[in-house]
Structures are given as C-alpha cells and as structure tokens.
Structure 1
Amino acid sequence: MSNFYLEAASIIDDVEGRRGSLKSLAALRSAKSGIDAKRLLALAANTLSYKRALTVVLDKAGVLREEAKTLTAAARQSNASALSLTLVLVHDLLFTSRGRIAASMSWPPSAAVTRHAARLKAELVKLQIKEGKVAIKELRTGDKRADRIPRWVRVNERLVRPDELLEALQAQGWTRQEEGQHGLAPKRKSFMVSPHLGGCMLAFHPSQTSNLVEHHLYRDGKIVLQDLASCFPAEILLCEEAKTVADLHVVDATAAPGNKTSHLSALLAKRKGLSRITAFEKSAKRFATLCAQLDRAGALSGSSRCQHTARGAVTAVRSDFMEVNREELADVTHMLLDPSCSGSGIVGRLDHLSSKTALLDERETEEEEQSERLAHLATFQLAMIEFAMGFPSLRRFCYSTCSTHVQENEEVVLKALKTTVAQSRGWKLAGKSSVLPSWPTRGLGSECGSEQGLADAMIRCDPGGSMSDEATTNGHAQLEATNGFFVTCFVRESENKSREKNRKRKARAKVMKAIKRQKA
C-alpha cells in the first residue's frame, strides 16, 4: 500500500507541474506500477478537491514541520514531494469512511502522520466551524458549472473506426442516447454523439470517468479523453484539406500532453497523400508525457503501434518552438498554436486545483496585478503568432487558448492582423464557413469594431456552456457544455483568393451544365 500513496503523490506533483492531465497521468502511472488506475485517480482527485482545507489543517497541526525528515525520505522513492505525500495520507485519515491510512504502521510515513491524528481532526473541526460548514464534504473545492460538462471522449481514428467503436460499446451494454432536453443522466451507461464533430466525439456523464479510464478501449489508445472544445483546432485546421490530395507538413508548436497532436495525426491518417507532423515541447517531463501519449495513440513515428507511417506520423522534438530555425522547416504548411495562457476557461478541472493556482487566485484578487499578468501573457502570445507568420510555406494556422479573457483572445488576434509580417505576407482570418460554422457562439463583436466578419471568424466556448444553472437539473450533463475556449484560424490571402476563384469557377460550370441540359 505504500507504493499506492507514493504514486498518487507523484501524480499530484505532475498535475501541479502541468505535465499532463489527471486522468492521463493516472493511466500512465497505473501502467508502470500495476496499481489500479481507478483507485489512483480517485485518491489524487479527492485529495486535490480537498487540498485547500488539507493545507490549512496541515499548517495548523504542524505535521510536516515535525515529521519532515521521515516524509521527505519516503517521498524521494518516487520523486514526489513531501507535501504531496503528506496530503494523500492525511486525506485518507480525515476524509474517508474508514478514517485511517490504508498502509501498515511499520511504514514510517504512516506511523508519522497517524501520531498526529487527534490534532489533525481537531483542526479540521475548527476549520469547519470557522467557515460555517454543516458537513465536511462542503469543504470540497468545486464549480457547479462543471456538473454540466460531459466526459468527452474522442474516437482515435488511427486505431479504430467510429462505427466499429460504437458497435463495441453497444455490445457491452452502453446505449446511444439521442439529443434531448435533459442531457446525460448520472450513473447511466449511456452516451451521446456531438452534432458538431459527428461520430468521432462522444459525450458520457462525468460519473463514468473512472469506468472509462479503466476500460480496455482507453488503455489500448482507441479512445482519448479530451474536451470537445479542445478538438476544434485540429478539425478547423485541416477541414480545407478534407477533399484534396496534398503533401502536408503540420507543426504543433506546444504539443504536450499530446491530445491535440494525436487528433491531428488521426485526421491525417484518413487522408490520401503524404503528411507528417512535427511536435515541439521544451519541458523534459512534459516531453516524456507527450511521447507516452502519442505512443499509446499509435501516432509516434518509429513506434510499433504507428500504422500508416506516411500519413500523419508524429516526430516529437524536445525543443523550444520559438528558437527553431524557420528555414530548416521551410516546408511546413499548417500549424497549431496553443500557447501558455491564464487557463481562466477551465472549470471543475482538478488538474488546476494546485497550490500554485490557489496562490494565483488569491494574488489576482487585485485587479492591477491580474491586468499585469494578462498583459505579459498576451505579449508572449502575440510574439508566437508573429513568429509563426514568418514560416516560408505556411498557409494556415490555428490560434487557441483555454482563456475567457479578451486580452488573450480578440485583442491578440486583432493586434496580430495589424503587424508588419501579417500585412506584408497577406495573413487574414479564415471565414466563418471554414471555422466550424455550426458552433453558435462566435467572437465578441463589441471587441471587433465594425468588422462583424472578424467576430464570426472566431469561436468562443462559454465555461460550462451557455445554459443557466437552473437548466441543469438532477445532475444531468449537457451536450453543448465544454470548458471555456477560444479558437480562430489564420490563412494567407493568396489562399483565400484561390479558393474564391475555384468557387466561382465551379458555380459557372454548374450554370453551364444547367443551360446545356435545357437546350438538350
């Protein structure tokens, strides 16, 4: 049982370091250690959800100060921090029905924390009284908007066809639910299909997350747990190539943890012609996560699982995208840009309930400090866009953030369009017709001035969906609900003109055929 706690502590550290999502890290740790993924996910998730309360109680009781030597020595066995190890142990002591640590007292950390059980429980009661909570579970951190967001699942079309996967699910007792007023009911083996991305995107109730993580389809890489909005960039980037035969070289500029990259790979695997992807990630740990995720998805070039190597195979490169030589990548035609952002659109994601985020939220209560941070992020985001615009053969790229702030979204895009490189090389925004036109929520027209076409060329996803809290009843998840997200697509003006000529030519040809039929 000691390994169970060490692995859970390592997951929490990796989540805080943004080296992957909670679910993907639990699956990877499970594969390496042999520990049940569902149990690892449950402990890490619950510890993170109570982390604010646990941190206060730990500080008041002084456990980490008095037992630092023992806890630090144990945590080093799995490269975890002493704090995260202590949190998972105290969580089980205070917040589980058994009220004890599920490890032998002969294991030093178990004995060290248990010695302070009385003080820890007393401090928890004090905190509960101070905050006026009737039940301990009310100390859990959460966001009720998250209740509306389904557990979105992407079918990995590199390894399985959507129709095959749907048949497999239904054979196992899952039922396909048609779109309805009440959404997905909790604890039911049902799913719905997204009307925007079709059979490749399935929605399950969030209560099914553990079952999905344990499912062999997930372990085999045939399904990927990925938010619907996060799938928009790849779909939008490649939609224009859906019916053409072209040799494509696509770059994912900031690729880890790899879901968008593997999505690109799956889309390219369905197309004819040569195509490849280069994925950049500068962090060593995030790069390791990226490679593991791509390997499981059958997308990593050189891996035995990678089929159709001439179509959409990914070469992962540990490097800072902003330091690459653009001339050495002169054949790059398409690109995804998903730079660092404030993450303000993420709701209910335990991945972000870390100490760093908690401190950030407290610091940003001052409007001036928040504005300064957003300005810093926006400067970097604009610099990345300008750098991308300078690639010699780049024809199309998507810019996206998981932010709700205008400063990181509409303002960055409008500034980018006014840059020297944009105007000299003919960069414009792709029109609404090629930027997922079925999605109802577009950019903020109030920020785009008189050019309404610019706002229509942008997509916004409201955190938790646009429905009111009252619209969600009895814990039902809604089919349109996602995390907060923003995406738009830049294209070279010459490409736009070429498409317009083709459209007019096809229209003329259609008219001529009609005239000939009439004469005949």
Structure 2
Amino acid sequence: MALYLNAAQILEKSERKQGALKTLVYDSKFSNIKQLFALVCETQKFSPVLEEIIVSTKLLKHTKLKMHLAKVLVYDLLMGQGLKCGGSWKATMMKHRSRLQAQLARMKVKQKVSRNQDLLPVSAQQSAKDQLPRYVRVNTLKTTVEDVVDYLKRDGFCYRGQALKLGDLKLEKKDFVKDLHLPELLAFSYKTDFHDHFLYKAGHIILQDKASCLPAYLLHPPPGSHVIDACAAPGNKTSHLAAVMKNKGNLFAFDLDAKRLATMSTLLLRAGVTCHQLANQDFLKVDPDSPKYKDVEYILLDPSCSGSGMVCLRDSGPVDQEEENARLASLASFQLRCLNHGLKFPRLKRLIYSTCSIHSQENEEVISACLLQNPHFRLVPLLAEWPKRGLEPFSQCLRASTSETLTHGFFVALLEKHREAERAEPQSAVQTSDMEVTPAAPSIGEELPAASEENSQASDCEEKPAFAARETDNLPNKKKRRKKKMAKLE
C-alpha cells in the first residue's frame, strides 16, 4: 500500500510543478527507491491512456479512489507486474479488473494496435535506442567482478565476455557482458530485473546507470584521501567513491534532506561502506576553512538539476518556454554557486562536476562561468575513447545520451587546480590541463583481475596516478631558445 500511496503523491506533486520527479522520489520515505521510481515513471508515461480507461469505466465513482492513486493501481494491474498490495485495495481492483481489461482491449482495437506501447503518441513511444541496457556495478567492497560473473553463470546467465564496441551492449534474454569503458560494470538486457536477486539484496551489486558511474571513476581519489560528496543522496556515487578509496580515508557526504540521508544510510550499510561521515547539512554552508576539512583534496559535485537526461522524465507535452528558461536559469545559478563554493577548499586538487541534464545552461555554460571566475582551475580532458564530447569549446568534458553511449543523458567535467595560473594572466576562459585522465580500474579488490578477460594479472591500479602526463620531450629545446634570446638581449 505504501508503494502506491507514495507514487500517487509524487505524481500529483509533479503535475503541480512542486519539484523534479527524481527529487520527489528520493524525498519520499519509501524503502525501495528503484521500485518506486520505475512505477512513477511508467505511470506518468501512460498517464493519458490510464486516464481514458479510468474515465470510461467510471472507476472513481465505483471505488471512491482519487485519480492519481487509481492511475498507479490500474497501471500495475493492467500493464505492470501485477498488484503488489493486499487487503481492500486489491479486492476492489480485482472486482473491476474485467471491465478495465475490456476497455484497454477496445482502445487497442480502435487504434488498430496490439501492444500497450503503441497506444502512446509517436513522440512518447520508447524507441529501440531508449531501451537501455541494465547496468550493474559490482561492489568491490564486498566481492570481485570475477566472483560475480561466476555466480551469475551458475544462476543461468550467459556470459559473453568483454564488450569491444557499443553494439555489444545490446543484449537479449539472459546474456551479459563486461562493459567496454568501466571495468567494474556489467551490462544485461534492458528487461533484466535484479531487485529480488540475492546479489542485490546482499549489497554485492549496485543497480546504477553507466553514466552515473563516471564521476567517481574519473575523480579516482586514492585510498586514504579526504573526499567530499557535496550533494550525496541517494548514495550510489558515495558508495562508488568508497569502493575506489577501498574504504580507507575520510568520505564526507552532505545532503540537506534528512529523509534522503536516512535512505542513503541504509544503502551504504548494505554496501559495506565504513569510511563515510554523513551530515544533514547544506553544502553551501560548509566552511571550507574548517580544520575538519583541511585535508580535502577531492570533491564530487552532482547538484540538483532538471533531470532532463533521464529517459523516463522526458515530457512530450507542450512546454512553456519562458517558464522553462526561468527554471533552468535558477538551477544554473544554484549549480554555479555550489561549484564556486567547492573550489574554495584550500587543499583541493580536483573537483568533478556532473548533471543528469542535456541542457547546455546547466552544463557547459555553468563550467564557462566558473572558469572565468576561477582562473586558477582548468579543465582536464576525459576518456579520449568516449564517443560523445562536451559542446565546443568544451570537448574536454563528456556528454552521454541514449543513442551515442546507450545511457541516460549526462554531463561530466573535471576541474583541476594549477598553481602556475595564479601568477600568470589566463589566455582564455577555457583553460585546458596538459594532462589527460586515464584512470585505471578504481579499487577493484585484491583478488580481482584487470578489466580484460585475457589479462589475468592482479590489478595494482590504486598505486598509479589518475593522470598520464603528455609528452614533454621538447622541453630542452625550449630552454635553448630562451638562452639564445637572453644572449641577444645582453
């Protein structure tokens, strides 16, 4: 019952523009966030169809249900995996099931379609490119990629090895592969559900979209470091950071919402995270000069955003452009304040900024404004092999999309402090580091082999720097030229 009550409340608040759908879901008290999120997204997508069924059968009159609650119940009854409640609600819905099913069938006959999906407007129908793989991050605090693969093979899944190209991530039935970019990530068919699987319940695997795994992977704080997760809830990125750090060091996680922190605490406990310190605090009010944070060198900043990159949050209806622009401007202002605040920590080396937004106002424009205001920081080029880059001139950053990376829409930028720029006049707003991020597999456990199945050597990546310096063979020649100039002046 709690599932449907929460889903109905979230749908109502979303329609009243009281918050982004993702934020409303995470703000709820419901224990299974993923289950709630899936139900809300699917119900919202089919909302016009469900409303027509409810109105045509006069369900509200017969049951005294309210529209939003009726929608989530009818969705699960007719299109989902069946009602997950008992008692009077289930009895009531089962009493009207035949009439509801008959109305759904009449709608299909009228529109000459056979699938529920085909009842949606063309613009709202999920195309094949939006049927994203089910990504599973192996929690290396509790197990290894190798052990998880072996367990799944014994459980009836068919392992296809290491993915070599994007097309290898389009899987059928019980096939699965290792991801081609992130070594601790496995990809399955989009139909695969792990919510009731032992590995998920035991915290050995984390259900996390591939794009969402990029920030912690690319920030790559070494074990023993002091790290801040600025806007931490619901906690998947926090648990990923802890895995990268091997649970060694100090991981400070902030979130303004106490309910979300409580949910996050449960998630981190299940994941075996012990190096964290949760704080129910606004990150913007954290004092960068506090002795508590004097050793912080790494920050992950994933602030509130529009959520426009989330496939299930796409709105195919009419948009008030003026209202939307005002909303994005407000979000961008908040994001820039968070970014500027994060760069004030005195010993900061690297800060990674990410959003699940496709809008340049929340991404490249925020980074551009930040670089102008913080000339002692510069962008670091990320993953040269990643197929989708930031909009020009921010090609050092990464973007993600359903079509080009088979993930939700996402944006990632890595800022690095360079002390030379504090003394020199910046040449442009876009400053680029001379180093490119090429992180090895982050914290994949003592027994875990490297990402490639052919390479059976144990991973020692935690001892390697996160950046690989570019060629500097021409430095002696520069010194000679300087000497010649000096001689001429003399």
Contact in 2 for aligned 1:251/1:332 (Cα 8 Å): yes
- Structure 2 residue aligned with 1:288: 262
| Residues 455-494 of structure 1: pairs in structure 2 closer than 5 A | 455-461=394-400, 463-466=401-404, 480-494=405-419
The one-character-per-residue Cα deviations of 1:433-492 (angstroms, maximum 9, x if unpaired) are xx22331322122xx2xxxxxx2321111x2132xxxxxxxxxxxxx4111111011111
- Structure 2 residue aligned with 1:159: 142
What is the aligned residue count? Answer: 416
Structure 2 regions of 5+ residues with no counterpart? 15-20, 423-432, 436-466, 477-490
Please provide the CA RMSD for this pair: 4.0
- Structure 1 residue aligned with 2:440: none
Paired with 2:343 and 2:37, the residues of 1 have a C-alpha distance of 41
| Residues 334-349 of structure 1: pairs in structure 2 closer than 5 A | 334-347=298-311, 349=312
The one-character-per-residue Cα deviations of 1:315-355 (angstroms, maximum 9, x if unpaired) are 121222122222223332111111111222222x3xx4xxx
- Structure 2 residue aligned with 1:134: 113
- Structure 1 residue aligned with 2:371: 417
Paired with 1:481 and 1:490, the residues of 2 have a C-alpha distance of 25
Structure number with the higher helix fraction is 1
Contact in 1 for aligned 2:22/2:37 (Cα 8 Å): no
| Residues 110-125 of structure 1: pairs in structure 2 closer than 5 A | 110=90
Distance 1:384 1:189, change over 3 A: same
Q: Aligned with 1:235: secondary structure?
A: helix
| Residues 27-426 of structure 1: pairs in structure 2 closer than 5 A | 28-29=31-32, 47-58=43-54, 63-64=59-60, 67-68=63-64, 71=65, 83-91=67-75, 94-95=78-79, 107-110=87-90, 132=111, 134-135=113-114, 137=116, 138-139=118-119, 142-178=125-161, 179=163, 183-184=168-169, 187-198=172-183, 200-208=184-192, 210=193, 212-238=194-220, 247-269=224-246, 274-299=248-273, 306=274, 313-328=275-290, 329-347=293-311, 349=312, 352=313, 362=317, 364=319, 366-419=320-373, 422-423=374-375, 426=376
Equivalent position amino acid for 1:332 in 2: V
Please state how far the C-alpha of 1:374 moved relative to its aligned partner.
1.6
Q: Aligned with 1:441: secondary structure?
A: coil
Distance 1:276 1:96, change over 3 A: closer
Distance 1:318 1:125, change over 3 A: same
Paired with 2:81 and 2:228, the residues of 1 have a C-alpha distance of 49
Q: Aligned with 1:381: secondary structure?
A: helix
Paired with 2:145 and 2:236, the residues of 1 have a C-alpha distance of 17
Distance 1:290 1:93, change over 3 A: closer
Distance 1:108 1:202, change over 3 A: closer
When structure 1 is superposed on structure 2, of 396-405 and 136-145 the one drifting more is 136-145
Paired with 2:365 and 2:129, the residues of 1 have a C-alpha distance of 27
Contact in 2 for aligned 1:184/1:190 (Cα 8 Å): no
Structure 1 regions of 5+ residues with no counterpart? 31-36, 72-81, 300-305, 307-312, 449-454, 467-479, 512-520
Paired with 1:287 and 1:487, the residues of 2 have a C-alpha distance of 24
Contact in 1 for aligned 2:164/2:180 (Cα 8 Å): no
Paired with 1:368 and 1:206, the residues of 2 have a C-alpha distance of 36
Paired with 2:338 and 2:244, the residues of 1 have a C-alpha distance of 25
Contact in 2 for aligned 1:398/1:488 (Cα 8 Å): yes
The one-character-per-residue Cα deviations of 1:171-229 (angstroms, maximum 9, x if unpaired) are 3343332436753565432211122222x111111122x2x222211111111111111
Equivalent position amino acid for 1:444 in 2: L
Aligned with residue 378 of structure 2, among 428, 433, 436: 428
**Could you state the TM-score of these two structures normalised by the residue count of structure 1?**
0.68
Please state how far the C-alpha of 1:120 moved relative to its aligned partner.
5.6
Paired with 2:46 and 2:334, the residues of 1 have a C-alpha distance of 33
The one-character-per-residue Cα deviations of 1:102-129 (angstroms, maximum 9, x if unpaired) are 977xx44456556777886787578668
Q: Aligned with 1:412: secondary structure?
A: helix
Equivalent position amino acid for 1:214 in 2: D
Please state how far the C-alpha of 1:394 moved relative to its aligned partner.
1.8
Paired with 1:487 and 1:503, the residues of 2 have a C-alpha distance of 19
The structure showing larger relative contact order (alpha-carbon pairs under 8 Å, at least 6 residues apart) is 1
